[in-house]
Structure 1
């Protein structure tokens, strides 16, 4: 009896199975190889099993091919010699490839299979350090964020239209605001990113901001940002103290009114940290990699030329760069591509600009080094002191 067939592979499950032809001694006798019975006989007996158990009479389907069985007088079934005529002797002389070549081809094949797989990062409703939305609604939420961020995209030359404010003044102000947020008020990264986004949005709409009111503008926007992002209440008097009483409460509140009207009260907007958490989860990053990614998106705010990119683009490029710095292979997986919506070739140019910022921000000549100092501490795993990756 022919042994029970195992389940066929997935790619052949719909193909027609060809029943093997039985071995024949003569045109009227068929022998079906009893694999399981023979294996049991070999394990428990030194004598040759009787062939009569497996011989049955019947009409042969193929009278042209015959097999001659020759039993060697050793009493061991394994010494039976089966001579099968070959149609082409040249085929028997073909050498099999070396095992190392087979192993290498199998390894490459497995890597291709794994690379093509896309993980469903929302399949489990479990607590995750990078999960901030309900898994059942997360796809709809991020679809909204991807669309919403395009509404607030700035032009490439928004700072060139400023009459008094320069890029260097903007860099100094953001560095000071980050110091206030991190060391004085201990606010979240969302508060700083929202402050930087609102500042750039305001500068893109108002071209004649006076130099002597630029710091006042930054303080007023920071006060507004804390109301949206922080659970702790900060009084306007706290900001007067931070400014060493240079500005009064009335000046700060009046400036806030101007900002609200200029921005049409549009304060809530997608931030790069929102996308970074999502993309890092798709990349299955650890705590150090994610901290490095946060540092990268922070230093991206210092350069006004990076404001032309969408927050999701900055986040995707930060994921690419921090994986490059940490020597993680592959750098860009199918899972990251799916959830970030960006191909590797799309983020490489942005990642190159971020790499330049990563190097320049740690240079001794850089005057805006508050972020570097902040992330050089052990609390943030000294990520700002890591060596930059090679050019790519």
Structure 2
């Protein structure tokens, strides 16, 4: 007989100090009562009629028949390479459908764009969001969740904040914990329990509050969790060029670091993945943007390179100005992750005094 799974709560001792910091920074009130929940829920969902209309519109978009454009053979920049045909013997590669799956992901990116939502959030700012994502990475590590779960959870937070104005600062950790809960149920074989989520939030919220927030988030996104994720694109691009694990891990470090920075939330997932990979290739002197990558990403070097330099600038600035947000850096300093965070960045053409930002042409 197999051993019973151990409670996840035992693995969460390391999060106590992180939760304390987040609680202090975000002024979390642990004395909330169910009566206050009803008031706050009403405030959050004050635009229910508009939300229902948005949900209905989303359903119309998502459920319409999708006809993807055919890719002409003459436009194939590297016809001699067919990675999916090479992978036909691997049932886990789903090589028959892989190309169409990622074309469909790219098609779907347009429906999950994030706007400049801080303009309609009066109680939170870039620093609050950065601290929140840093904390979510700690949660992902402590629960040993898939990286896809982390990326989906962060996307859920951004989608909610983009659609629901004036979210209270004290609701942010509840939103983040609930987003991890939803993403884990979508992507994990053994997701955390409600009690586990409440525990990592130091019991600052009630079970009813978490369940209400879960309903609010799912209604806001139209119950559509099949969002394109930059992490999935990155894995695909790495597979088609048969990339070694240390270089892929370096690209993952760059991409995961970018999750903290609001400046990149509006950039497409496929471009974020491509630029992170190009930066890793150049940092490790492993080549450049090849025709194979162009073929499977649909992106040319001139589209990828400007964002790559901005991500390189981000890595440099992070080491100088973000000492208190260390969870991602410390994670990728570990030998399990090949200590990739210690890799020197590229020489940057961007002055160190410039703030972190996406290329102007990618602005909202």
Which structure dedicates a bigger proportion of its chain to helix? 2
Q: Which among 179, 185, 199 is matched to residue 227 of structure 1? A: 185
Query: Counterparts of 1:76-155 in structure 2 under 5 Å?
Result: 118-125=80-87, 133-155=93-115
Deviations 1:235-262 (A, max 9, x none): 1001111111111111111111111112
Which structure dedicates a bigger proportion of its chain to strand? 1
In the other structure, the counterpart of 1:383 is 340
In the other structure, the counterpart of 1:339 is 296
Q: Which among 254, 260, 280 is matched to residue 322 of structure 1? A: 280
Distance in 2 separating the partners of 1:132 and 1:382: 29
2:171 aligned with 1:213: yes
Deviation at 1:360, TM superposition (A): 2.5
Deviation at 1:119, TM superposition (A): 2.0
Query: Counterparts of 1:1-392 in structure 2 under 5 Å?
Result: 118-125=80-87, 133-155=93-115, 157-182=116-141, 184-329=142-287, 331-363=288-320, 365-391=322-348
Deviations 1:188-232 (A, max 9, x none): 111110011011011111111011111111111111111001111
Distance in 2 separating the partners of 1:132 and 1:298: 25
Distance in 1 separating the partners of 2:156 and 2:126: 16
Distance in 1 separating the partners of 2:163 and 2:227: 17
Give 5+ residue unaligned stretches, structure 1. Answer: 1-114
Distance in 1 separating the partners of 2:122 and 2:179: 20
Q: Which runs of 4+ in 1 moved over 4 A?
A: 115-118
Change (3 A) 1:118 1:321: farther
Deviation at 1:120, TM superposition (A): 1.6
In the alignment of these two chains, the number of paired residues is: 273
Distance in 2 separating the partners of 1:303 and 1:132: 33
Give 5+ residue unaligned stretches, structure 2. Answer: 1-76, 350-364
| Higher RCO structure (Cα 8 Å, ≥6 apart) | 2
Whether the aligned pair in 2 keeps the contact of 1:118 and 1:334 (CA below 8 Å) is: no
Deviations 1:242-299 (A, max 9, x none): 1111111111111111111122112221111111111112333101011111111111
Distance in 2 separating the partners of 1:239 and 1:386: 34
Distance in 1 separating the partners of 2:118 and 2:80: 41
Distance in 1 separating the partners of 2:258 and 2:80: 29
TM-score, normalization: structure 1? 0.67
Distance in 2 separating the partners of 1:278 and 1:221: 25
In the other structure, the counterpart of 2:46 is none
What is the Cα-based RMSD across aligned positions, in Å?
1.8
